Amino acid sequence: MSDIEKEKLEENYNLDEDFEDEEEIITLYNETAKKDEDFRVVWYLEDGDRSYVLLNPVEPSEDIAEDEVLICEYGETENGEEFVEPVEDESELDRIYNLYVREYEEACKED
Q: Which residue has the higher pLDDT, 66 or 76?
A: 76
For position 17, what pLDDT does the model report? 45
Reduced to 3 states (helix: H, G, I; strand: E, B; else coil), residue 87 is coil
pLDDT digits (tens, 9 = 90+) for 15-74: 444 444 578 999 998 888 889 999 999 999 999 999 999 999 998 888 788 788 999 999
C-alpha span between 38 and 60 (Å, rounded):
10
C-alpha span between 50 and 16 (Å, rounded):
25
pTM summary value? 0.75
C-alpha span between 9 and 1 (Å, rounded):
10
C-alpha span between 57 and 23 (Å, rounded):
12
